[in-house]
């Protein structure tokens, strides 16, 4: 059970972090924050390359774990989008 939980958490964050950074990047561009947009762009590229190199759901797991890993990643993408859109409210900035 520990291995499956680790996989779920890993793929959740592989979905959460890139999506969060991409949406945060677009929000910083929309607010004309040039330096912050460049920093977020760098982080987005670095995380995207990491995900691209390590995101081997279909080659490493059998069917049951593939479905669960994919579902966990989708949940991470959804929560990443939600968190990025509510970032100002969550941090107390208006």
Domain boundaries, the chain: 2-91
Closest CA to 26 of 14, 47, 40: 40
* Cα-based distances in Å from 8 to 4, 36, 56: 6, 31, 14
pLDDT for the residue 59? 57
> Is the pTM value of this prediction over 0.85?
no
Tens digits of residue pLDDT in 32-86 = 888 888 888 888 888 877 777 766 655 565 556 667 777 887 888 888 888 888 8
Helix (H) / strand (E) element for 15: namely helix 2-30
The answer on pLDDT for 2 being more than 60 is: yes
What is the model's pLDDT at position 62? 58
């Amino acid at each position: 059970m520990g291995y499956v939980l680790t996989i779920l958490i890993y793929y959740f964050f592989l979905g959460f972090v890139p999506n969060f950074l991409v949406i945060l990047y677009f929000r910083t561009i929309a607010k004309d924050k040039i330096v912050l947009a460049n920093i977020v762009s760098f982080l987005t590229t670095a995380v995207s390359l990491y995900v691209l190199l390590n995101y081997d759901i279909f080659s490493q797991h059998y069917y049951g774990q593939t479905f669960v890993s994919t579902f966990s990643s989708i949940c991470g993408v959804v929560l990443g989008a939600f968190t990025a859109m509510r970032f100002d409210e969550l941090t107390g900035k208006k």
